[in-house]
Each structure stands twice: as C-alpha cells, then as structure tokens.
Homo-oligomer: A and B are copies of this chain.
Amino acid sequence: MRLATLRDGTRDGRLSLVRSDGARLADASRIARNLQAALDDWKAVEPRLRAMEAELEAGRLATDPVELQRLQAPLPRAYEWVDGSTYLNHAKLVRRARGAEMPASFETDPLVYQGGSGVLLGPSDDILLPDPLMGLDFEGEIAVILGDVPIGTRAAQALPHVRLVALLNDVTLRNLVPPELAKGFGFFQSKPATAFAPFVVTPDELGAAWHDGRAWLQMKIWLNGHLVGDLETGPEMHFSFAQLLEHAARTRAFTAGTIIGSGTVSNADPTHGVSCLAERRTLEVLASADRQPTTPFLRAGDRVAMEVFDTQGRSLFGRIEQKVVPAA
C-alpha cells in the first residue's frame, strides 16, 4: 500500500491512496483525514485502506493524476524526526579527509541525532538557501515511520512498530556543521527543513527487499539532470532500523508518526557515486595533490532529484525534484 498527502489548504493535507502504477491516486480522507490521523488509529484504519486499495486497483474509484506540485510531505509536520548515521563508509571517508580515524565505538554504538520535524518539505518544494557560504548539500536517505513505541523496546521487538517506509532528502548546511558540533550540543542551524518523496509505503510493498530491518533497494540521485549516485541501500547499512529503534527507545517512548532515518546512503565502491556532495568532495580531496575539492556545494538554481527503485524497476516512493532558491 502506498500513501500520499494532497495539498488542500490545511496544515496536514489530505490522505490519498496511490495506485500501483504510481500514476493516479484516490482521496482516502473518508477513512482518515490525513496521514497522522491514520497512524494515530492504524489498527482500525489499515484494513479499511487495504480494502479501498482493492477497489482502486479494480478501477472502481474516482482518481486524479499524481502531480508532484500538488503533493506535500507525507507528514507535513511530524512529532519527531530522529536521524541515524548507519552507513559507516560515509563516516570513515569524512574522517579520512581530515586525517582522523573513525572511533571503534562507531561499529557498536549507533550515532543518532534529533532533527527538526515541525516543517517538512514536499517532493517539489524549493530548498531555501539563506547564504551560499553555508555550503548547501543534499543527503539521500531511507526512513521508517513508526507506530507507538514503548520505552525500552528491544531490536528483536522493534520491526512490528514500523508502519511505513520513506525516502527523504536530509538537506544539510555543511559549513555550519563543524562550528556547531564543536559547541557540543549537536546539529541545529546546520540542518534546515528535510524534504520527502511523495509516497510512503507499507513494508510489504518492498517484498523480499525488506529484510533484516533494512530496505534493499537501488537509490538514484541526480544533480542538474546528471546522475551522481546509483547506490545500494541494503548491504552497507551497518545498523538496522531495529537497532536504531532500540537505541532511540532506551530511555523514552515514541508517539505514532515518529520518523527514523538511516543517514546518508553510502557505498564503499566509488563506482556507485554519492548520495551527498560532501562525500564526492571528500573523494576529490583524497585524490588530489593540493587536497582541494573541485565540486562546489549547491547554488541558487541547482536542481536535485532522487528516486528509489525496487528489483522490478518500479519507482517505489516517487520522485523528489527540488530547486535551490535564495531565502528571501
């Protein structure tokens, strides 16, 4: 089952059910007015949505075309956005460029941070750039959206709490990261609003590509129409979503609609390309005599696109297609 949020003038938008070909959608707001409401009452809502899906696939419902501009983030505002950093190749590379070793604890103790969740961007919403010197970058990530999670939930019990899987662009202001992390309190200004692909999908939509608490899919990233990343999301995700959830729930509970992210997808084999510019710049630094990157960060007018494909070549989450514009 794939769900999307249609812009309707309300803060949370209108719940829609997406047809299996991804081309058309049907209003599902008679079942739950928006995605948060569906997650709040998932046990009752899910079977009704699945019944509606059968009607939709049988061609018995009125539908509208999927138009990216009419779609908001699946959750335009969420109660929590917890982001991990599970692709260790990314952490290793970034450290190697500055001559540092990755701490051994990174292999056993997940890195997570609390992101801002009150304003989440839709798939074609502009990325606002307050200042070109901030070093604007994208990050392609897979995420899960949870039901209610009790405090102390362990990895072995975690996966039944996963309601939906998502694709997101974790927009980052790279040049704000070092001074901000040096202050000790983690990311804040360096993490502006995150953008989401149009569709969120139930784990069964991934079929065999959902196992071991990971999504085993193909992520493609384009910058100004050029393919810069063609990555595998499964094999190098060091910690699973189940392990991330255990880590997050060690000292507190989570409410339905909480989003947990994988961190920037990264593959050790450089022929896969990158899901963020920071990594490409790091490779340039390591490869060049003068240790300078040649790829610039994003500038006004740049266009970023992301899409994730399953083994049948289906675009599972639809397409992120954003343009960079100066913040007013």
What is the interface of chain A, defined by CB distance below 8 A to chain B? 11, 40, 77-80, 82, 85, 105, 109, 111-119, 128, 130, 134, 151-152, 173, 176, 181, 183-193, 247-248, 250-255, 257-258, 327-328
Contacts and interface: CB of A to CB of B under 8 A. Distances in A.
Contacts of A112: 185, 188
Contacts of A254: 116, 118-119
B188 A248 contact: yes
Contacts of A82: 116, 188
A78 B116 CA distance: 11
Contacts of A11: 40, 255
Contact of A79 (B114, B118, B184): B118
Nearest to A150: B328
A186 B189 contact: no
A288 B311 CA distance: 66
Contacts of A105: 183
Given A130-B151, A130-B152, A327-B151, A247 B114 contact: no
Q: Report how many copies the assembly holds.
A: 2
A120 to B, nearest CB: 9
A80 B251 contact: no
Nearest 7 pairs between A and B by C-beta?
A186-B186, A79-B118, A118-B255, A113-B185, A114-B114, A80-B118, A192-B251
B118 A115 contact: no
28 contacts: A77-B79, A79-B79, A79-B118, A82-B116, A82-B188, A111-B183, A111-B184, A112-B185, A113-B186, A114-B116, A114-B186, A116-B252, A119-B252, A119-B254, A119-B255, A128-B252, A151-B192, A151-B327, A176-B251, A181-B184, A184-B186, A186-B186, A186-B187, A188-B248, A189-B248, A189-B250, A189-B251, A191-B251
Contacts of A181: 184-185
Given A82-B116, A130-B250, A181-B184, 14 more contacts: A11-B255, A77-B79, A79-B117, A82-B188, A113-B185, A116-B254, A118-B254, A119-B254, A119-B255, A134-B251, A151-B327, A184-B186, A185-B186, A189-B251
